[in-house]
Amino acid sequence: MTQDGLPDMEVEHHTSTLQDVLQAIAASWEALELKIDALRVRSTLLRDISVAESKLRSLESDRPGHPDLEPKLQEAQEEVAEHTDRLCSFDYKAYTEKMHAEGDRAERLLAPLASPAHRASDSEIKREYRGAPGGEPHSSNTYHLNYIICVSFDRKEYPPFRLLNMAFFDDNRDTLAAELFSKKPLAPRTTDPTPSTQGLRQKFIKLERLRKQELARWWDITTLKRYLEIKQVPRGLRVIIFPSFEDLDPDLLGEWEHLISSTSFSMINILIKHSDRKRTKLLLDITSLEEEIKNLNLPEATDKNYTIMREILTGYQLYIKDKKMRKLVRDDNDYKNGRIYTFARKSLLDLAFTGQLTTTLLLGVRSTLLRDISVAESKLRSLESDRPGHPDLEPKLQEAQEEVAEHTDRLCSFDYKAYTEKMHAEGDRAGRLLAPLASPAHRASDSEIKREYRGAPGVIVRDKRQLCLFLPYLLLL
């Protein structure tokens, strides 16, 4: 007999049952950790690839006319290749098989505890422990077992198992709290010895923010007024709405463009008035804040902060000026080239000559592969969640695992760096061959080649002559 009055055989039975349960719990926990780790690793790798490709696309769009971007472009390509290699080296299939093996081991360990014979013979034991109907604990010092039936969200009952009720945590709470509160309180933080200087710095931070806002408003007003003077509309304010029917008369299009241009000019006037009101309020706030700074009577600190702020604002103003200049040149080129409302469309000739067609097709291939992997993994996770209690799902689960492995192998076999080098080489050669066709004189005299296409990929070729012109280039890819 034990000190609590329990027979030795009964204690041994409880101990054996508890060991089996703990082994099953450990196996289940290991399987769950494997699954979580696998999904976390793959999610991180896919996210890194997506971020690297976004950076590469941004550099590719800025590449024409900027040869100094080539080193950064090369680094971005190597970064994408590196993240892809990391994804390829991740053996998802072996990881999944190990996870299923641990899960099956846990089910085998729990199976005896779920048998009707075991549950019938164990009814007395259940009543003796806390949580069972009619049961009372033998003593407050005993670690009791609670009988718990796990029910999933779809109301399916799974094999019952027993868990330790760690009652000693409750007993130790008061002790831990008393130990914590018996310590001496922390010393109060010392105040700033120079509150006036600290307040001056805070005011200059606010003044710098207001000055930046006022600068941005002034440049917005000045630039919009310039657009009105030259009778041009910036891209962001162009109303790109046209009739949906195909038979468009030139006179109708002329009247239509005049109407939407007038609407855009009206919007420009509204924005000028709005920015002017905001700037007037900002100037009042700036004047008031500068008066507060003057009243602090700290000439040396004030001069030092003004010097720092002037340097920051000078750099900020140059940044705004360069950005506005790029947009003015871009919009002026739209009007010169007759691309006022078709600026977003790219012709095959433009894409081939700038090298953007190769990059567009390349990233399209990679995006498709990554999307296929994501879809296959979503399907696999759905089947994994429905797997318990449904042995008929094993064939579908196996197919989903093979599908994930297949798409991953396709991505791994895609040599990004070699593909990129080959496509850029072919693109440069195609650009040299097509250079005469890109001259303004040739394009002005050739209305068919001058005709715009709708995006890439999925470019629409409208006649046989254009197809013959660009088909050799596409075959090179």
pLDDT digits (tens, 9 = 90+) for 115-128: 554 444 444 434 44
Q: CB of 161 within 8 A of CB of 150?
A: yes
Provide the 10 A C-beta neighbour count for residue 56. Answer: 23
364 pLDDT band, cuts 50/70/90, is low
Closest CA to 462 of 358, 364, 347, 361: 347
Q: How many CB atoms lie within 10 A of CB 350?
A: 18
Residue 200 in this model has a pLDDT that exceeds 60? yes
pLDDT of 470? 42
pLDDT at 391 over 70: yes
Nearest Cα to 286, choosing from 368, 211, 191? 211
**Residue 33 in tokens:** 């950790």
Residue with tokens 């969640």: 385
Q: Which residues contact 100 (CB under 8 A, 6 or more apart)?
A: 31
Residue 233 has pLDDT above 80, yes or no: yes
3-class SS of residue 162: strand
**What pLDDT, in 10s, does the model give residues 396-412?**
888 888 888 888 877 77
Task: Specify the DSSP class assigned to residue 145.
Answer: E
Identify which has the larger pLDDT, 461 or 295: 295
Give the amino acid at 195.
P
Burial of 83 (C-beta count, 10 Å sphere; 0-12/13-18/19+) = buried
Residue 110 pLDDT exceeds 50: yes
At residue 139, the 3 state secondary structure works out as: coil
Nearest to 421 by CA among 344, 467, 355: 355
- Between 69-83, 89-103, 415-429, 462-476, the lowest mean confidence (pLDDT) is in 462-476
Quote the pLDDT of residue 267: 95
Q: What is the pLDDT of residues 328-341, one digit of tens each?
A: 999 999 899 888 88
pTM above 0.85, yes or no: no
- What's the mean per-residue pLDDT of the chain? 68
What single-letter DSSP state applies at residue 11?
A: H
pLDDT band at residue 194, thresholds of 50, 70 and 90? Answer: low
Contact present, 459 and 453 (Cβ < 8 Å): yes
